[in-house]
Structure 1
């Protein structure tokens, strides 16, 4: 995850900060140190992306004619000192931003961990037994349990056929998708959970975990949906459906009257995946933030 790469870079910068603070070190040593640290940060932020490397602003200059003895080069020295100081300030600002991003991610993870525990506790509690008072039949009133209403059909009566392509992960996901399309949400969740459990390395694991959340959301269970969406972002941050899960997580939180938390999720989505998501999703995020009245 990008924030974890940035955290590693921040640690490297923090360890190097005492050296930058020493203004009595010769300029050539400061420049070499700063350029080395900048390359270390870039390797953390853009692992393997040579094209993303930023060239240092301070580069060797062509040899200049030898100055006469006693003529000071104060102008060039002052300019070089200013540029080195500017570079140090840029590195310090980058370190601060890295630390802020990591702190925000830790806060978000803690909030959802607390929310998960509260939701699990509610789901584990036995439902209250509703009672009705029977009419008197030659004696005192008798309280009897109320019979539950028969469960409504979860989808069309037509059978949903499980595909057989030879790819078990693909077949399992497509089967769960067809059940979801047929509005047989409970069966869809069961089939999709099996895909995630049996094939966590498959690209379809991210798809399946995201669709579990969609099934819960469509079935009127935003609490379970929010947990499923967050699990997809946490377990498969590089998965193809991780951005979608963050977007729908915001929708689930709005349904739970947690608009402030939804706004944080939309911010996380933009920060982490803003460079890769589609133009349509970017437009959807703008609309969702407006609906949630995000600042």
Structure 2
């Protein structure tokens, strides 16, 4: 018998146990008989609660005065105590059946809840998928010609032929690059980025691109990664390569819109579209920047933002 039913039927079973105590015959037998009938009535009431509208198709028939659960009427030698014990055995059997059925019902309900939860998850996913892209995603799709996030190595627009590379750097350039020292601190990731920044700041754009690419490959999750992607885009844009710069600016914005240089990259993305003569996408980038980063549009990047807006005419 489960703990739950033991707690629920505790008072009933305790009263029934008291009925098994030896008592004198006569008036006390009648009193115990009345108490036992009361217990049986309570059991029948419990049956009706557990099995509403129940009958013999669902559980054993209720104990009635006419049910031969006692051998008292059949044999004059059977005592009142034997009658009580027999009837208590019948009560315990009914309680066991009630307990088993209750546990089966609880298990069935738990299974139904599990299936319902799974159905809700599946329905929710289907609804989200059917809803289509949100407005920001649609804007980004427009900026990339239909792709929500173009691969970095495959820009949305067809890349122009790269200018012919020289056979190799001159001795003077090599000496100038070697003169730029690489920091040596307890943060190697920051050292790699800082060295790329120094190369870019000195105007050595190809060397800066190589160094910043190395930094992003080795430390993609570094705190300076948002700076590195933005600066890599600038190393292309400042070198007259806007097509190569655009994917890096877009990637930096999409990867972490809350990043320290995500707003900068979105604004520089508008500049690459201006340089490519794509006014429509330039306007989309500017509108996205003004909506997403109003503090930057009126603060640190205000002059650059206003200058870009003056170059193009947007609806």
TM range (shorter): 0.5 to 0.7
Q: Is 1:290 matched with 2:306?
A: no
Q: Label 1:264 to 1:215 Cα distance change in 2 as closer, same or farther (>3 A).
A: same
Q: Label 1:192 to 1:271 Cα distance change in 2 as closer, same or farther (>3 A).
A: same
Is this contact kept in 2: 1:247–1:269, CA < 8 A? yes
Distance (Å, rounded) in 1 between the aligned partners of 2:262 and 2:145: 18
Q: Label 1:121 to 1:112 Cα distance change in 2 as closer, same or farther (>3 A).
A: closer
Structure-2 residue corresponding to 1:225: 245
Q: Is 1:109 matched with 2:127?
A: no
Larger radius of gyration, structure 1 or 2? 2
Q: Label 1:279 to 1:100 Cα distance change in 2 as closer, same or farther (>3 A).
A: farther
Q: How does 1:252-271 map to 2 (within 5 A)?
A: 252-271=272-291
Q: How does 1:1-295 map to 2 (within 5 A)?
A: 102-109=134-141, 111-112=143-144, 114=146, 116=150, 119=155, 122-123=158-159, 150=167, 157-158=175-176, 159-275=179-295, 279-295=299-315
How many pairs align? 178
Is this contact kept in 1: 2:199–2:208, CA < 8 A? yes
1:28-87 superposed Cα distances (whole Å, 9 cap, x missing partner): xxxxxxxxxxxxxxxxxxxxxxxxxxxxxxxxxxxxxxxxxxxxxxxxxxxxxxxxxxxx
Distance (Å, rounded) in 1 between the aligned partners of 2:221 and 2:290: 26
Unaligned residue ranges in structure 1 (runs of 5+): 1-98, 130-147
The two structures have a TM-score, normalised by structure 1, of: 0.52
The two structures have a TM-score, normalised by structure 2, of: 0.49
Is this contact kept in 1: 2:159–2:243, CA < 8 A? no
Structure-1 residue corresponding to 2:117: none
- SS of 2:134's partner is helix
Superposed displacement of residue 122, structure 1: 4.4
Distance (Å, rounded) in 1 between the aligned partners of 2:266 and 2:158: 23
Superposed displacement of residue 271, structure 1: 0.9
Superposed displacement of residue 121, structure 1: 8.1
Superposed displacement of residue 269, structure 1: 0.7
Superposed displacement of residue 285, structure 1: 1.2
- SS of 1:279's partner is coil
Is this contact kept in 2: 1:155–1:183, CA < 8 A? no
Distance (Å, rounded) in 2 between the aligned partners of 1:113 and 1:196: 26
1:137-169 superposed Cα distances (whole Å, 9 cap, x missing partner): xxxxxxxxxxx8656659573222110111012
1:85-140 superposed Cα distances (whole Å, 9 cap, x missing partner): xxxxxxxxxxxxxx999324324235416585874784598x8x9xxxxxxxxxxx
Superposed displacement of residue 234, structure 1: 1.1
Aligned residues: CA RMSD:
3.4
Q: Label 1:156 to 1:246 Cα distance change in 2 as closer, same or farther (>3 A).
A: farther
